[in-house]
């Protein structure tokens, strides 16, 4: 039996307590400073307020002030914060973790640099730790997985990525169950880039749902031609960005496209895309979804900014990314939705 400490009591971090505990491990769930009420509810009812199912018996709950106790003796630390908690996790949590204990993060996203690079969060944390000379095994989870379906034990396949395959094998042993299936990859840039990129593109696909509701009515039947057209364009642009990252492999693309699919059909990104498609501007959509964490907006803005910088440096052709640039225009410049359909067409003469 291993000891697994999860830091961050949001939906995905908390959902991982299910396979972790059901695999026979001791599981400690630590709330951040933003999760105080969630942890109190977990202690009271053994149930996360966003889930309709109780945690497996034996999960232990800790407030952030108890983090040192929760980390002591742990065999693995799972980071369950959102993109907005990346700096906090790097500054507050990582320095507390012994170098012998591997970290596994569920946080999906990318940081852009002034020269148009896109950095994974494990790389961001590695650079933060470099200043103190500390070294940790920084690993990550990517792939199509929604928290509530993981809790429901829907068959799920994800990828654990990290630099050391033997550590990844050990982490898989701790977490794999009959419903939680884990591939392994040492291509951290590829897996993390693929699953981060899908956020901005899933929002783009969801725009078409809102557009059709605007034209035909909220309760009108779904129209799939437009969704499929955007999905195809998203696949092309994601491939080009993975190629820019030096990571356009079949394995990475399959993880990213699978994640794109599940994100279109459920979750917060779908909601904001629909509202924008109906005609709301980004401020109105945020107000409508008050309290909902919208990481897809952050990813889309950062990646679009990196594309524009790389274009100026002659590294990317901005015309190859009409969908993401339009999504960014809607978010950053509050432009109305006007999907550039003809820019998605091509002429292939073999």
Question: Annotated catalytic sites, by residue?
Answer: 198
3-class secondary-structure state, position 223: coil
CA distance 330 to 187: 32
Q: Do the Cβ atoms of 146 and 155 come closer than 8 Å?
A: no
User: Tokens standing for 330?
Assistant: 């809607």
Q: What is the DSSP letter of 93?
A: I
CA distance 282 to 220: 24
CA distance 331 to 292: 16
User: Tokens standing for 39?
Assistant: 């942890």
CA distance 237 to 148: 29
Helices (H), 94-223: 121-130, 147-151, 165-175, 188-216
User: Tokens standing for 76?
Assistant: 């693995």
User: Tokens standing for 72?
Assistant: 């002591």
Task: Give the gyration radius of the chain's Cα atoms.
Answer: 20
């Amino acid at each position: 039996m291993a000891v697994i400490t999860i830091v961050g009591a949001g939906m995905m971090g908390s959902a991982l307590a299910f396979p972790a505990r059901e695999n026979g491990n001791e599981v400690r769930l630590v709330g951040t400073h933003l999760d105080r009420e969630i942890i109190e509810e977990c202690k009271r009812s053994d149930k996360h307020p966003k889930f309709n199912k109780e945690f497996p018996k034996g999960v232990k709950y800790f407030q952030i002030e108890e983090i040192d106790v929760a980390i002591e003796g742990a065999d693995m630390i799972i980071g369950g914060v959102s993109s907005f908690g990346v700096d906090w996790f790097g500054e507050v949590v990582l320095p507390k973790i012994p170098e012998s204990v591997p970290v596994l993060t569920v946080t999906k996203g990318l940081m852009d640099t002034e020269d148009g690079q896109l950095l994974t969060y494990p790389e961001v944390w590695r650079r933060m730790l470099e200043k103190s000379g500390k070294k940790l095994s920084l690993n990550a989870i990517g792939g199509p997985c929604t928290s509530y379906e993981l809790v429901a034990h829907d068959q799920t396949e994800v990828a654990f990525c990290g630099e050391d395959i033997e550590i990844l094998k050990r982490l898989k042993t701790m977490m794999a169950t009959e419903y939680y299936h884990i591939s392994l990859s040492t291509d951290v840039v590829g897996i993390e880039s693929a699953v981060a990129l899908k956020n901005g593109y899933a929002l783009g696909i969801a725009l078409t749902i809102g557009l059709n509701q605007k034209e035909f009515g909220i309760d009108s039947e779904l129209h799939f031609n437009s969704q499929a057209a955007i999905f195809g364009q998203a696949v092309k642009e994601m491939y080009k960005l993975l190629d820019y990252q030096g990571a356009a492999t079949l394995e990475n693309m399959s993880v990213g496209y699978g994640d794109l699919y599940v994100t279109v059909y459920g979750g917060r990104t779908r909601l904001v895309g629909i509202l924008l498609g109906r005609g709301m501007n980004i401020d109105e959509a945020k107000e409508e979804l008050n309290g909902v964490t919208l990481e897809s907006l952050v990813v889309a803005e950062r990646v679009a900014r990196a594309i524009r910088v790389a274009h100026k440096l002659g590294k990317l052709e901005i015309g190859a990314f009409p969908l993401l640039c339009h999504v960014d225009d809607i978010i950053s410049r509050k432009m109305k939705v006007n999907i550039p359909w003809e820019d998605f067409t091509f002429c292939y003469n073999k």
